[in-house]
Amino acid sequence: MNKTKLLPMMAFKGMKQNKLVYRPYLLACFFSVFSYYLFSSLLQNDLMKKLPKAGYTWLMLSLGKGLLAIILCLFLLYAGSFLQKRRKRELGLYSILGLERKHIAVMLFWETAGVYLISVAAGIILGFVLNKLMFLVLLRMSQLDVEAEFTFSGRAVLETMRYFAVVFCCLFVRSLWGVFRMKPTELLSESRKGEKEVKRIGLWSALGVILLGSGYYLSVTSRLDSMIFTSFFLAVLLVVLGTYLLFTSGSVAFLKLLKKRKRIYYRPGNQVTISGMLYRMKKNAAGLSNICIFSTMLLITLTCTVSLWMGMDQVAYYNNPYDVEAGYSENSDVKEKAEEKAEELAEKYGQKIRRLDCYNGMRLSCGKAEGSNVFASIAGYPYAEQFGVTLLTLDDYNRLEDENQTLEEGEVLLYGTGKPFGFDRVNFMGMEADVKEEPECIYPYPQASNRMFDYYSEYVIVVKDQETLDGFVTAWAKENGVTDLEGFLHSGVRHLNLLLEGKETERTAMIAEWMAWCQGQQDFLALDNGLERRGETRSMNGGLLFIGMVFGMLFFMCLLLIMYFKQVSEGFEDQDSFGIMRKVGMSDAEIRGTIRRQILLVFFLPLAGALLHTAAGLVMVNGLLAVLNFFDTRLLIRCCAVVAAAVALLYAASYGMTARTYYRIVRK
């Protein structure tokens, strides 16, 4: 037969004969194409550019697609290495039987081209079928209430085909390198080789403990400041390196230590189990460390996604507690007219007025060192140590909180949105006062519920009367070099803020009419639509949630595929070993028990490591979510516990499915 026809047939036959490893590999390629095409088609949709507030979602998807491209390339290269290792024995046999290397290269080309065409075609077809559904999911998460008219995007198809053409070219080159650098005899034995045992395991184990401990320490002691993202990536790097070293060196060192303990090693069942685990850890520690890392990524991603979804309203209302905020000159008499107009509009649109607050406030920027009770001039203080301080009179505070608080001369109420102030006296620009009480809350200034963050803190100082407030403002002006003191004293703002309860469409209509009325009043200064800003926040976070959902599925697919490949490769490698066990007199029940103990211990070590990594990383995750104004630590812990339980069940189910394949291979 002509070699032109023979080589493609051999390529197809090789894929068919190795279906145990090609099926999951094709599934991984197919899902990767689907994921990339999904992001690309969403970004190419003209509707995403026309929707109000969809710009944030588009930005999140763009960032997600860039990160996805990197992860998919690395993962497919990693998955391809399993496949390549399994095929080396077959390719070595072809070489011994007379097939030249250039012919093997042509055969590998046809295999790679076949996988590329099948994966791209299947992934794009599924993407086209499910695109509208996924688009509706994205709109739902982003709370963009529009009709979905999703159309086919040829540009997304071309972009997907180009990207995966580059990825599969890299896979093909790697396959050629793996074959051409070895002799045929080496190829025959390569498929039975595991990862080489690391030398100087004591040194590398100690280094792994140090790196992992450093990553944990950095995570637990991280602060919510401008370095939080740098600290996060450094902590991730340290944990990944520490995990790899502990699995490749630390686990082997621990098992060798057990082997030296005669009381432990020379017991029924322990000898075979420890020896078998030692053999497996030497060969497969690198793969197990990858399982641990992917499990951790899955846990962290799902925890962040579920927590942000459950706390969406808290995040949206944190910076925008009112539906609309209007500002007037501090002596404006708008309050009485506003109450009458609000009642009129609420009756017209069927809304309930939850709050209509009118108060004067002077917001000043101050410098404050950590752990200090002194508010000083901002000169000499970096941005991270500057805080906003709002001055309120006692009358306005009592009206806002519906209280009847009193203050003596030289007393103040001091409220912080982050950490508690924690001092009995406060020094404001040289003026000292006794802190009578730290209020639980003041509505327009929402508080971080866990009260552990200082970076985004705001402070409110409630003083006895307007005269005392003017004294505080004068002290601030002198410390900060304000020349026009008289004008500055009268630069305060009278806030008129409205919060409604009712149907969304009617509320939007009422807010529009209310804003038009506010702008027509005397002494009007500024207007802020909180309802619209909440929509923008939900849109941005909805994009993050969608990315988290897709990446969660991707990480789980990666995890499942790695587990499957390891079970299949170990099954073929262990066939002879279990034959020897039977010959030396071990019963099938004893062999099955030994196998079960070894595999359970080995494969659930990565899960235990992932749970430990996640627990240590929760403090840093808490800080990262705080950047998005999510401060509910208790909700985060609850979501993490539920996600961990769900992932553990999925992990166990995945292990069970892949273990059946292992037993089926071993019994042959």
pLDDT at 629 over 70: yes
Best-predicted range by mean pLDDT (57-71, 88-102, 218-232, 373-387): 373-387
pLDDT at 2 over 60: no
Whether residue 114 sits in one domain with residue 248: no
Give mean pLDDT, residues 50-54.
54
Whether residue 110 sits in one domain with residue 77: yes
Best-predicted range by mean pLDDT (289-293, 374-378, 384-388): 374-378
Check residue 435 and give its pLDDT.
Answer: 92
pLDDT band per the 50, 70, 90 thresholds, residue 561: confident
Torsion of CA 264, 270, 273, 277, to 10 degrees: 0
Whole-model pTM over 0.75: no
Lowest mean pLDDT among 109-113, 144-148, 153-157: 144-148
Specify if 48 maps to a domain. yes
Give mean pLDDT, residues 484-504.
83
Whether residue 311 sits in one domain with residue 163: no
3-class DSSP assignment, residue 266 = coil
Domain count, the chain: 3
pLDDT at 108 over 90: no
Specify if 556 maps to a domain. no
Instruction: Count CA atoms closer than 13 A to 665's CA, side-chain side.
Output: 22
Check residue 371 and give its pLDDT.
Answer: 78
**Which of 173, 193, 213 corresponds to the end of one domain?**
193
Specify if 603 maps to a domain. yes
pLDDT band per the 50, 70, 90 thresholds, residue 516: very high
- Cα(92)–Cα(187) distance, rounded to whole angstroms? 5
Whether residue 205 sits in one domain with residue 188: no
Specify if 329 maps to a domain. no
Q: Which long-range contacts (CB under 8 A, 24 or more apart) does 563-567 make?
A: 563/291, 563/603, 563/654, 563/655, 563/658, 564/24, 564/658, 564/661, 565/21, 565/24, 565/79, 565/82, 565/83, 565/287, 566/82, 566/284, 566/287, 566/288, 566/291, 566/658, 567/658, 567/659, 567/661, 567/662
DSSP letters for 522-552: TTEEEEEEHHHHHHHHHHHHHHHHHHHHHHH
Specify if 282 maps to a domain. yes
Domain membership of residue 410 as a residue range:
352-501
Specify if 30 maps to a domain. yes
Check residue 280 and give its pLDDT.
Answer: 60
Check residue 87 and give its pLDDT.
Answer: 67
Whether residue 608 sits in one domain with residue 489: no
**Which of 147, 168, 193 corresponds to the end of one domain?**
193
Check residue 105 and give its pLDDT.
Answer: 76
Whether residue 137 sits in one domain with residue 213: no
**Which residue has better confidence, 405 or 59?**
405
% of the chain beyond a pLDDT of 70 = 72
pLDDT at 283 over 80: no
Check residue 23 and give its pLDDT.
Answer: 77
Whether residue 213 sits in one domain with residue 176: no
Check residue 96 and give its pLDDT.
Answer: 63
% of the chain beyond a pLDDT of 90 = 12
Whether residue 30 sits in one domain with residue 150: yes
Specify if 288 maps to a domain. yes
- Cα(560)–Cα(647) distance, rounded to whole angstroms? 12
Check residue 621 and give its pLDDT.
Answer: 84
DSSP state of 448: -
Tell me which residue has tokens 């404001």.
428
- Summarize pLDDT for 265-279 with one digit per residue, the tens: 666 556 656 666 666
Whether residue 245 sits in one domain with residue 159: no
- Summarize pLDDT for 413-426 with one digit per residue, the tens: 999 887 778 889 99
pLDDT at 170 over 60: yes
Sort strands 425-428 and 493-501 into parallel, antiparallel or unpaired: unpaired
pLDDT, the chain, mean: 78
Whether residue 584 sits in one domain with residue 486: no
- Which ranges of 319-439 would DSSP assign to H, the alpha helix? 334-349, 394-401
Give mean pLDDT, residues 624-647.
86
- Summarize pLDDT for 535-551 with one digit per residue, the tens: 777 777 777 777 777 77
- Cα(582)–Cα(587) distance, rounded to whole angstroms? 6
pLDDT band per the 50, 70, 90 thresholds, residue 655: confident
Whether residue 62 sits in one domain with residue 155: yes
**Which of 449, 482, 501 corresponds to the end of one domain?**
501
Whether residue 572 sits in one domain with residue 495: no
Best-predicted range by mean pLDDT (247-261, 392-406, 537-551): 392-406
Q: What is the largest CA-CA distance in the chain?
A: 105
pLDDT at 217 over 90: no
Tell me which residue has tokens 């069927």.
350
- Summarize pLDDT for 424-441 with one digit per residue, the tens: 999 999 899 999 998 888
Specify if 542 maps to a domain. no
